[in-house]
Amino acid sequence: MRLQDKVALITGASSGIGRETALLFAAEGAAVVVADVNDKDGEKTAADVTAAGGKAVYVHADVSKASDSENMVRVAEDTFGKLNILFNNAGIMHSADDNAITTEENIWDLTMAINLKGVFLGCKYGIPALRRAGGGSIINTASFVALLGAATPQLAYTASKGGVLSMTRELAVIHARENIRVNALCPGPLRTELLMSFLNTEEKKQRRLVHVPMGRFGEAKEIAYAALYLASDESSFVTGTEFLVDGGITAAYVTPE
C-alpha cells in the first residue's frame, strides 16, 4: 500500500476529483478526512470508504472561512493523531463567470474566496500540522487554464487558478527544507459535474474538446491517481511543480478552423 499509516485531509471530497481521491487514498492505506460543505454527499464519501474497509471521518468545512479551515485540520489530528497529506482540492466554476465586462464583482469575489483564499487558509492551518508530523505533502488543485487562456471565457476561475499555481511555487520554496513538499495538480478538461455544468451546451463541450489531442474529457479517477503519486513517498524529490494531467491540451493548444 502506497499510503500505509498516512493521514490525508481532502477538501471538496463529496464529489468529482475529491471523492475519487478519498476512495483511492483509503484503498492505499491512508486514513482520510473528508471535508466539504455538502454534508449529505460528504458523509456518503466517508461512509463508502469505511464500507470498503478503510478509515474516514467527515467534517463540514467552508474553505473560505478561517475557522472552518482551522477546524478541519484539528479534526484530522484529534481523530487520527497527525496529518501527512493535505489536498486543497475544493473549488467552484460559476456559471456566471465570463469575461471582464460581463462577470459581476460578486462572482469574482466568491470564486477567489473559495478557489484561492481557500488554498491559502488550508496551508495556513495545515502546514503547522505537517510540521508536527515531521513533514508531508501538500497538493493544490490548479488547472491547465493557469497556464493557458480558456477558449470559453471564465476569467475569475482562470485568475484564481493562476494564483494557486504561483502560491504553490512560493510555498514549495519556503518549506522545502522542512520535508514539506508542495505541488500544483493541473487537470485538463474533465467529465465532472463541475465542468459539465459550466460547459452546458454541446457547442461549448465541442469547443473545449477540439483542443484536446486525446479527443475526450478526462475522468476524475485519472486525476486521483496523479494525486496519489504526489501524496506518496514515490515523489519524494518532487516539489514546486505544475503537474499536468491534461490529455495533451497544453502541448497542442491551437485555434480551431
- All structural domains of the chain: 7-190+219-238 (3.40.50.720)
Write out the DSSP string of 215-248. Answer: -S-B-HHHHHHHHHHHHSGGGTT--S-EEEESTT
Q: What is the per-residue pLDDT for 124?
A: 98
CB 90 within 8 A of CB 118: yes
Q: What is the dihedral of CA 72, 78, 83, 85, to 10 degrees?
A: -40
Give the model's confidence band at 256: pLDDT under 50 very low, under 70 low, under 90 confident, else very high.
very low
Calculate the alpha carbon distances from 86 to 78, 117, 126, 156 in Å: 15, 15, 7, 24
| First-residue to last-residue Cα distance in the chain | 47
CA distance 130 to 171: 13
CA distance 15 to 17: 7
pLDDT digits (tens, 9 = 90+) for 13-71: 999 999 999 999 999 999 999 999 999 999 999 999 999 999 999 999 999 999 999 99
| Mean pLDDT of the residues in the chain | 95
- Tell whether the model's pLDDT for residue 198 goes beyond 80: no
- What is the rounded average pLDDT of the residues 120-129? 99
Query: Annotated active-site positions, please?
Result: 157
